[in-house]
């Protein structure tokens, strides 16, 4: 990875947002590239809005909803707690950008849904977790009342934003600006809708029941402790996370897919095939 990055002027990380050794290798290679060419390579790194999630146990926190992080406000990005998931990797990129040997851009998508049209069809993280919880419990479950809420985005709309961001990152106006922008100003959210975890679990339950995977489509509320026993990543479908994609819209990003429910059935079908359940 280090060698490949040392030979590149533009690098995307869409592989892992928590792999510190990989990120260190990417940055080391890009630093070599800068030292060879005298020109800052561009890194577009994929983080995630887990970085701003709270520690709720399935219940909506109105205060968190009312104080959504806005990517147009640098102070909001600076105030993200350093101990939050993904943040340690994000900070490595902020530091490399501040040092001046990369132009680092970070995209933090929320829940991603929908079918990709590229050569590698990949499932997002959270719908498979909801499926795994149902399989482990023998029925669809959510933590407490399931009112905790996240933003979401369709994978194709996310790709559209990456295309806009690449154009911005590589534009002469950005690259040759007399004053380099703050690393925190190059952090972007990308959301087009919201769902509560109960709503999403209900939609997944419908798809599972239709295929005979679970005996009921009714969602049962369980305690946080029981949910975590059923799946170690259950906490990821219990929290609140709200991030406003103000800058994406200012750049002209217009999401085309705004009905997340329409894609859940196909997402469940694909995830079940991946798990070998159908």
pLDDT digits (tens, 9 = 90+) for 226-277: 999 999 999 999 999 999 999 999 999 999 999 999 999 999 999 999 889 9
User: What are 5's two structure tokens?
Assistant: 């990055």
Contact of 57 with 221, CB cutoff 8 Å: no
CATH number assigned to the domain with residue range 1-272, chosen from the 4 options 3.40.50.720, 3.40.640.10, 3.20.10.10, 1.20.950.20: 3.40.50.720
Predicted confidence at residue 125, as pLDDT, reads: 87
With a cut of 90, say whether residue 55 has pLDDT above it.
yes
Predicted confidence at residue 115, as pLDDT, reads: 87
With a cut of 80, say whether residue 197 has pLDDT above it.
yes
Predicted confidence at residue 176, as pLDDT, reads: 85
With a cut of 80, say whether residue 57 has pLDDT above it.
yes
243 forms beta bridges with 69
With a cut of 90, say whether residue 185 has pLDDT above it.
yes
Predicted confidence at residue 180, as pLDDT, reads: 87
With a cut of 80, say whether residue 164 has pLDDT above it.
yes
With a cut of 90, say whether residue 116 has pLDDT above it.
no
With a cut of 90, say whether residue 88 has pLDDT above it.
yes
Judged by DSSP in three states, 33 sits in helix
With a cut of 80, say whether residue 66 has pLDDT above it.
yes
How far apart CA 237 and CA 125 sit, in angstroms, is 10
Q: What is the pTM of this model?
A: 0.95
Predicted confidence at residue 230, as pLDDT, reads: 92
Predicted confidence at residue 161, as pLDDT, reads: 98
Predicted confidence at residue 178, as pLDDT, reads: 81
Taking residues 126-131, report their average pLDDT. 95
Long-range interactions of 114-121: CB distance < 8 A, separation 24+: 114/154, 114/155, 114/156, 114/257, 114/263, 114/267, 115/155, 115/263, 115/266, 115/267, 115/270, 116/155, 116/156, 116/159, 117/156, 121/270
Residue 98 burial (10 A CB sphere; 0-12, 13-18, 19+): middle
Mean residue pLDDT of the chain comes to: 96
Task: Kindly provide the residue ranges of all beta strands, DSSP E only, lying in the chain, ordered along the sequence.
Answer: 10-13, 42-46, 69-70, 103-108, 111-113, 141-143, 149-154, 187-189, 193-196, 220-222, 243-244
How far apart CA 4 and CA 196 sit, in angstroms, is 41
């Amino acid at each position: 990875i280090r060698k490949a990055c040392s030979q590149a002027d533009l690098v995307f990380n869409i592989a892992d947002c928590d792999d510190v050794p990989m990120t260190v290798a990417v940055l080391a290679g890009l630093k070599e590239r800068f030292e060879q060419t005298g020109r800052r390579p561009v890194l577009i790194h994929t983080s995630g809005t887990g970085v701003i999630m709270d520690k709720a146990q399935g219940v909506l926190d109105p205060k968190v909803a009312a104080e959504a992080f806005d990517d147009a406000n640098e102070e909001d990005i600076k105030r993200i707690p350093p101990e939050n998931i993904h943040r340690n990797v994000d900070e490595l990129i902020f530091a490399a950008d501040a040092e001046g040997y990369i132009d680092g851009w970070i995209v933090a998508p929320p829940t991603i849904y929908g079918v990709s049209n590229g050569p590698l069809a990949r499932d997002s993280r959270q719908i498979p977790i909801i499926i795994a919880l149902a399989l482990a419990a023998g029925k669809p479950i959510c933590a407490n009342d399931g009112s905790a809420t996240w933003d979401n985005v369709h994978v194709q709309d996310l790709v559209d934003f990456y295309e806009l961001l690449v154009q911005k990152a590589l534009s002469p106006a950005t690259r040759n600006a007399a004053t380099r922008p703050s690393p925190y100003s190059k952090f972007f959210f990308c959301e087009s809708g919201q769902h509560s975890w109960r709503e999403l679990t209900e939609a997944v339950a419908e798809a599972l029941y239709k295929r005979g995977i679970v005996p009921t489509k009714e969602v049962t509320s369980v305690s946080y402790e029981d949910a975590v026993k059923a799946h170690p990543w259950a906490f990821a479908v219990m929290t609140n996370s709200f991030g406003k994609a103000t800058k994406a819209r200012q750049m002209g990003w217009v999401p085309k897919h705004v009905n997340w429910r329409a894609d859940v059935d196909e997402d469940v079908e694909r995830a079940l095939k991946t798990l070998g359940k159908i």
